[in-house]
Amino acid sequence: MRRLAYDVFDTPLGSVVVAASSKGIAAVALAGARERGAVVAGLARTLDASLTPEHHRLVARAGKQLAQYFAGNRRTFELVLDLDGSEFSRRVWASIGTIPHGATLSYAELATAIGRPDAVRAVANACGRNPAPILIPCHRVIASDGSLGGYSAGITVKRRLLTLERGSGADLPLFALADQRDQQTRRNKATDHALDALDEGLKTWLLARLEDNPALATAWMTVSEWADAVFDAVDEHDLAAIMRLVVWRAQQRGDHPPSIEQVGRELLETVAGPAILSHRASGPIWAAALQAAFWLREPREVERIGAQLLSHARPARATTTAVMKILRRVLDGRLPTTASLRERAVDLWLEVGQVAPSDDSGPDAFEAAGLWREAAMQAEAQLAAGDGDRLALLEELARCYEAMGDLDAAIDSVQSLWLETEEVRWSTELRRLKGKVTPDGPSGVG
């Protein structure tokens, strides 16, 4: 049995336990609000080691560097590690260590990086067994669809770590700034292309309206006349870019300026509607129309777009992917709308996921948005249908039910995990949850 020294450090994420051998850092555990003693005991069982609370120069150095990291003054760690794991896991962890601060990599990309593109599931499992989170930044590994995926300390902690690293634009590393600028350049090119497709009169009319000068614009033609002319003048991709420009300009203003809102409403009702109802719409126009409908707080249009999409036996994958991206923005609050429409977005997310299942239709998006009940319902549905990774779904259910305050259900999920895997960490988690139900009672697993 190895003998390790440990210390506990306070961080913005709660307590962090760091343990080290004479050779290097052996483990990091994100305790959060959990009782420190229970976390240390669980770590000892997981590592099959005896942990002693004593000063250790490597542990002290790790604590100092973690404090610098959380203060935003450190991007890489300069620590010797002494980790226990298989050769494959070590390859995965080493590759994770090369992901730059503020960047992310998908599980599939990570599998390719280690020369095993066929081993995505095994790579994800190795991430879950990472003994030194933060130092080995597995929080930077996400799902291929851009969702957060799993994390040993929970999705909330993973999101907070990524937010900490990304920070404001001024604090981003050069590669991230370049990526941001590249995305903005592509959006600008699409918008410029769309505006160039308009004749000078239509273009000038729109720009006057967007600059909140409706009197000048209306002097040439009404909003309805302009929208009809635009519909005849551009293709769907340009039309989608114009609609995105209208919504972006309104959001930039921070309110619902009537002159801009009227343009968006007219585009949605007289342009996007016929395009979708004619069954010739592509992914960009579906997404742009749905974005405008949520922004305009138009339940009738949201219902119409949703019903038309779901009427297709097999919607194109590009269409459902584009729609899911808009729904995700509604769920996580980046696209503001009413409470009732946000609830409709939840329903639509589930409905689209049933018609066209994808990696993006899982419960993690609900969890990321704090919609614990919806995330649990989706995970339960996938379990019942035999879809997805059973262990990952049980872990997700445990987090959701605990966040909802349904500790009995959370205990049931963890009990299943413990029985199916026999991993010590689930025994420890079971004791913790049972301790929350009866803090003064017995906490043994039984």
Any idea which residues carry the catalytic annotation? 138
C-beta neighbour count of 109 within 10 angstroms: 17
Residue 167, phi then psi, degrees to nearest 5: 50, -150
Q: What is the Cα–Cα distance from 28 to 117, expressed in whole angstroms?
A: 28
Q: What is the Cα–Cα distance from 253 to 353, expressed in whole angstroms?
A: 33
Q: What is the Cα–Cα distance from 336 to 397, expressed in whole angstroms?
A: 28
Q: What is the Cα–Cα distance from 102 to 295, expressed in whole angstroms?
A: 30
CA dihedral (203, 305, 302, 148) positive or negative: negative
Q: What is the Cα–Cα distance from 203 to 234, expressed in whole angstroms?
A: 12
Residue with tokens 């390719």: 112
Q: What is the Cα–Cα distance from 321 to 5, expressed in whole angstroms?
A: 49
Separation in Å, CA 17 to CA 30, 44, 371: 6, 11, 30
Which residues make Cβ contacts (< 8 Å) with residue 316, sequence separation at least 6? 282, 283
